[in-house]
Amino acid sequence: MPKQNQYEFWPKIVLPIPNMSPSNTTIRDVARLSGVSPMTVSRVINDSERVSPETRRRVEEAISELGYVPSRLARGLSRQRTGTLAVIVPDVANPFFTAVVRAAEEVARRADYQVILCDTRADLNVERDVIDELIAHRAEGVVIAPVSDRSAAQLRRLAEFGVPFVLIDRTIPEIDCDVVLGDSTGGARQLVEHLISLGHRRIGFIVESDDVSTARDRRRGYEAALSAAGIALDPALVAHAAPDPSGGSAGMRRLLELEDRPTAVFTVNNLVALGAIEAVRAAGLEVPDDVALVCFDDIEYASRLYPFLTAMEQPAQTFGTLGTQLLLERIEGRGPERRHEVVLPGEFIVRKSCGAK
Amino acid sequence: MPKQNQYEFWPKIVLPIPNMSPSNTTIRDVARLSGVSPMTVSRVINDSERVSPETRRRVEEAISELGYVPSRLARGLSRQRTGTLAVIVPDVANPFFTAVVRAAEEVARRADYQVILCDTRADLNVERDVIDELIAHRAEGVVIAPVSDRSAAQLRRLAEFGVPFVLIDRTIPEIDCDVVLGDSTGGARQLVEHLISLGHRRIGFIVESDDVSTARDRRRGYEAALSAAGIALDPALVAHAAPDPSGGSAGMRRLLELEDRPTAVFTVNNLVALGAIEAVRAAGLEVPDDVALVCFDDIEYASRLYPFLTAMEQPAQTFGTLGTQLLLERIEGRGPERRHEVVLPGEFIVRKSCGAK
DNA sequence: CCAGATTGTGGTACCGATAACACGGTGGCG
DNA sequence: CGCCACCGTGTTATCGGTACCACAATCTGG
């Protein structure tokens, strides 16, 4: 259960503050001090161009004397580019997305872009608002792990405004753009086949709503594994739940209440697994003894402390770096005519939760 | 060991791209279409003001017909405010800071500010660059967990430019501003006293460089606890190391090599603890049997999966919300004359790693 | 020795919005 | 009936840069 925030309603204090000097030096001030035109100063701060060494020296002197820093706003307005790009994820606190964001931020910074971070909390409305804001901000591109297929509307809006974007982790059927994905179907199949190889026949699946591509694809993998093993699909074993710990708990509780309950469970991601495990324990049972468990995505720090989750680990950082690189290519007008669809293989890591050996 | 990123050098593809229409509708287009002046359109999009219902209707119609979205750049330039603020942390991947960032982002968004996320990777130079960028961007305020005391220079720079900022998690001696802190000294003392109460007399401490206030304060707490128990301080038991898992491992290795090695260790934070535990295990020993361990900050998801770390958990979210709220007060000119110094108590959580009971 | 290129610099007009003021029309009130 | 307040709207200047073109001075080569 997330900590309640006792200071949510911190009492408002209304008092005057000692205003600091909003030191607003402009290019014209620099020009005046160094006895040249603003245009020449502009040339100096943008390097390049032909400026005599002597003039350049004088201008640079004036700049450092006045502590002048050019305004990105003005520059952006006039150049029609902001040097800003956005990363949108449904939950930064999910270690998978944290890694994505971190990597994206680094790539962007190296390419001299600033990053606006947006956490949609898997809420379609927040996502819409956030995207509108980004359009207003004239962000030059967006790396986004969309909330669901219904994000299509807002992505089309981005496209209308000529803002390139790259989807990561999730595709959206009608949206045609660069994409960086994991191998959800294959990975899921491998996980479930592993459970089957351990002798499990009744295998549950806790998954979020079917309008998220990863959920669909992983369900597909789950079904493929079952059918390949000649196990009939029992719809009662598929529990739909929110893609977070509380959803995982709820889903697992439902599965445990079944008459003929599963002996193993596959969860759609790491946080769902976490909640599911908590539910198993709350029911006085244990993983993997009473219920074996496998999932997608690792929880790095947890696994280092205690290698427990048998998981299909995805290269989260690569999602971030690669997604951002593809985006930068689009922004800079490079990038192939045809869209890029990169599928990154996961790494199957067997640990305790599946009960192997 | 963090995953190597195999796609760091993704091959560059150079091809033309099908350019989308950079639909650049301006306020003037809307004005033309609705047969009014740009000023009137401006009045409509900023609500308020006195505009006849009929005109407003016509303008709104034109706006939606053209799909017009006002440019934040232009607005910012003219209004002299950007509606942007920044959150700077040394490591977003640290669950503590992830929570801070997430909370800050939410508070900011609710107040209609956009957030620029900056991860300094605990590198003073990156921090300097990032802050320069923010000044250029005319960010209206900054919530920052500074790299160290040597961040003072860049913070003074911010102040010179009239950008208000709030320090979180760490103070800096000469910098006088709003601050949201944990009770490092008290918390550390409590942790170490707990170890002492369990019978430990040789207690190690793995800590980062002394120019970070939390490190100093926690050392102070460590020393206070020892001296209160009449235990002499043995400098050999204080290992300095980077504030991350690898630092923790290195530090613990050094402690384990001591002739008279500690029976318990206190680490300055969660990630250091993680590395320290790995080092203990690598040495063929176990926590808490061979070495008891306590630390600052929890790793939430890890602890839910496996309640192991005995820790002083800090209310990370509150650091974020409160820090951002204080910042917003400053920005809006409210906020007390005298600086705010908020100290949030941590929660002492006893689990396995200390070997209690 | 002069046409033509090159170099360093300045002038002007924007980028897209808003602040501040101006102005014609309506209605209330003495 | 005329003055004034107010309403709705337009005009102009400006925010802080840069693109584009102009222009004088110097350099090149035939």
A21-63 residue pLDDT tens:
445 899 999 999 999 999 999 999 997 768 888 999 999 999 9
Q: Does the structure show a pLDDT above 70 at B335? A: no
Secondary structure of residue A7 in the 3-state scheme: coil
H or E, element range at A84: strand A84-89
CA nearest neighbour of A114 among A77, A158, A76: A76
A143-164 average pLDDT score: 94
Question: What distance in Å separates the CA atoms of residue B107 and residue B321, rounded to the nearest whole number?
Answer: 6
Q: B174 falls in which pLDDT band (50, 70, 90)? A: confident
Q: Residues of B with CB below 8 A from A301's CB?
A: 95, 270-271, 274, 299, 301-302
Task: Tell me which of A101, A278, A305, A349 to substitute to probe the interface with B (most B C-beta atoms closer than 10 Å).
Answer: A305
The tokens describing A96, both together, are 């998978």
A2 CA, C29 C1': separation in Å? 66
What CATH architecture does domain B80-182+316-344 belong to?
A: 3-Layer(aba) Sandwich (3.40)
Q: Does the structure show a pLDDT above 70 at A331? A: yes
pLDDT digits (tens, 9 = 90+) for B267-291: 999 999 999 999 999 999 999 999 9
DSSP states of A164-212 as a string?
-EEEES---TT--S-EEEE-HHHHHHHHHHHHHHTT--SEEEEE--TTS
Scanning every strand, the nucleotide with its C1' closest to B78's CA turns out to be D15
Q: Does the structure show a pLDDT above 70 at A281? A: yes
Instruction: Give the lowest-confidence range in A18-27, A173-182, A271-280.
Output: A18-27
B43-65 average pLDDT score: 88
Q: B24 falls in which pLDDT band (50, 70, 90)? A: confident
CA nearest neighbour of A279 among A289, A268, A270, A291: A291
pLDDT digits (tens, 9 = 90+) for A198-216: 999 999 999 999 999 999 9
Q: Nearest residue to nucleotide D16 when comparing alpha carbons to its C1'?
A: A74
How many CA atoms are closer than 13 Å to the CA of A53, on its beta-carbon side? 0
Q: A6 falls in which pLDDT band (50, 70, 90)? A: very low
Is the Cβ atom of B55 within 7 Å of strand D at any atom? yes
The listed CATH number (1.10.1060.10, 1.10.260.40, 3.40.50.720, 1.10.150.120) that belongs to domain A27-70? 1.10.260.40
A48 CA, D27 C1': separation in Å? 22
Task: Tell me which of A107, A115, A137 to substitute to probe the interface with B (most B C-beta atoms closer than 10 Å).
Answer: A137
H or E, element range at A253: helix A245-256
Q: B14 falls in which pLDDT band (50, 70, 90)? A: very low
- B14 burial class (0-12, 13-18, 19+ CB within 10 angstroms)? exposed
Q: Does the structure show a pLDDT above 50 at A12? A: no
What DSSP state is assigned to residue A225?
Answer: H
Closest CB to A17: pick one of B2, B72, B333.
B333
Task: Tell me which of B112, B304, B321 to substitute to probe the interface with A (most A C-beta atoms closer than 10 Å).
Answer: B304
The answer to whether the Cβ–Cβ distance between A95 and B325 falls below 8 Å is no
Contacts from B176-179 at CB under 8 Å and sequence distance 24+?
Answer: B176/B339, B177/B339, B178/B323, B178/B326, B178/B327, B178/B330, B178/B335, B178/B339, B178/B340, B178/B341, B178/B342, B179/B339, B179/B340, B179/B341, B179/B342
User: How close is the nearest chain B Cα to the Cα of A140, in Å?
Assistant: 11
Q: Does the structure show a pLDDT above 60 at B116? A: yes
The three-point CA angle B147-B219-B262 to 5° equals 120
Side chain identity at residue B230, one-letter code: G
Question: What distance in Å separates the CA atoms of residue A45 and residue A33, rounded to the nearest whole number?
Answer: 15
Q: Does the structure show a pLDDT above 80 at B297? A: yes
Q: Does the structure show a pLDDT above 60 at B15? A: no
B73 CA, D9 C1': separation in Å? 26
The answer to whether the Cβ–Cβ distance between A16 and B337 falls below 8 Å is yes
Q: Nearest residue to nucleotide C18 when comparing alpha carbons to its C1'?
A: B78
CA nearest neighbour of A45 among A23, A21, A22, A74: A74
* Whole-Å CA distances, B17 to A328, A343, B332: 13, 21, 44
Same fold, B27-70 and B80-182+316-344: no
A302-324 average pLDDT score: 96
How many CA atoms are closer than 13 Å to the CA of B41, on its beta-carbon side? 23
Is the Cβ atom of B70 within 7 Å of strand C at any atom? yes
pLDDT confidence of residue A21? 45
- CB contact A50 to B (< 8 Å): no
Q: A335 falls in which pLDDT band (50, 70, 90)? A: low
Question: What distance in Å separates the CA atoms of residue B20 and residue A211, rounded to the nearest whole number?
Answer: 27
pLDDT confidence of residue A23? 59
What DSSP state is assigned to residue B20?
Answer: P
Q: Of chain B residues 25-44, which have a beta carbon within 7 Å of strand D?
A: 35-40, 43
Scanning every strand, the nucleotide with its C1' closest to A78's CA turns out to be C15
Scanning every strand, the nucleotide with its C1' closest to A43's CA turns out to be D18
pLDDT digits (tens, 9 = 90+) for B208-254: 999 999 999 999 999 999 999 999 999 999 999 999 999 999 999 99
Q: Does the structure show a pLDDT above 60 at A4? A: no
The answer to whether the Cβ–Cβ distance between B304 and A114 falls below 8 Å is no
Scanning every strand, the nucleotide with its C1' closest to B24's CA turns out to be C16
Helix and strand totals (H; E) in chain B: 13, 12
Q: Where in chain B are the domains? A: 27-70, 80-182+316-344, 184-313+347-354
Three-state SS for B244-294 is CHHHHHHHHHHHHCCCCCCCEEEECCHHHHHHHHHHHHHCCCCCCCCCEEE
B52 CA, C28 C1': separation in Å? 21
B28-42 average pLDDT score: 93
The answer to whether the Cβ–Cβ distance between A115 and B115 falls below 8 Å is no
- Which positions of strand D lie within 7 Å of protein CB atoms? 7-12, 14-20
- Which positions of strand C lie within 7 Å of protein CB atoms? 7-12, 14-20
CATH code for the part of the protein at A184-313+347-354: 3.40.50.2300
Tell me the pLDDT of chain A averaged across its residues.
91
Closest CB to A160: pick one of B16, B67, B301.
B67
Answer yes or no: are the C-beta atoms of A41 and A30 closer than 8 Å.
yes
- CB contact A11 to B (< 8 Å): no
CA nearest neighbour of B277 among B301, B255, B304: B255
Q: Residues of B with CB below 8 A from A92's CB?
A: 92, 98, 101-102, 105
Q: Of chain A residues 7-46, which have a beta carbon within 7 Å of strand D?
A: 24, 26-28, 38-39, 42, 45-46
- CB contact A10 to B (< 8 Å): yes
- CB contact A161 to B (< 8 Å): yes
A62 CA, C20 C1': separation in Å? 33
Answer yes or no: are the C-beta atoms of A35 and B355 closer than 8 Å.
no
Adjacency order of strands within the sheet including A84-89: A341-344, A179-182, A165-168, A141-144, A84-89, A114-119, B114-119, B84-89, B141-144, B165-168, B179-182, B341-344
- CB contact B235 to A (< 8 Å): no
For A205, phi and psi rounded to 5 degrees?
-140, 120
A310-313 and A341-344 as β-strands: parallel, antiparallel, unpaired?
Answer: unpaired
Q: Does the structure show a pLDDT above 50 at B87? A: yes
Q: Residues of A with CB below 8 A from B322's CB?
A: 7, 10
Answer yes or no: are the C-beta atoms of B168 and B320 closer than 8 Å.
yes
Which residue from B minimizes the CA distance to A25? Answer: B161
pLDDT confidence of residue B50? 79
pLDDT confidence of residue A2? 42
B173-200 average pLDDT score: 96
pLDDT confidence of residue A14? 31
Closest CB to A13: pick one of B106, B277, B329.
B329
The tokens describing B207, both together, are 């800590």
The answer to whether the Cβ–Cβ distance between B305 and A277 falls below 8 Å is yes
* Whole-Å CA distances, B275 to A73, A93, A104, A244, B285: 44, 21, 25, 27, 14
Closest CB to A321: pick one of B7, B12, B322.
B7
Is the Cβ atom of B78 within 7 Å of strand D at any atom? yes
Q: Does the structure show a pLDDT above 50 at B20? A: no
User: Which residues in chain A (126-155) have CB-CB distances under 8 A to chain B?
Assistant: 130, 132-133, 135-138
pLDDT digits (tens, 9 = 90+) for B303-328: 999 999 999 999 999 999 999 999 99
Q: Does the structure show a pLDDT above 90 at B7? A: no
Question: What distance in Å separates the CA atoms of residue A28 and residue B173, rounded to the nearest whole number?
Answer: 37
Q: Does the structure show a pLDDT above 70 at A10? A: no
CA nearest neighbour of A288 among A311, A263, A312, A307: A263
Secondary structure of residue B239 in the 3-state scheme: strand
pLDDT digits (tens, 9 = 90+) for A209-261: 999 999 999 999 999 999 999 999 999 999 999 999 999 999 999 999 999 99
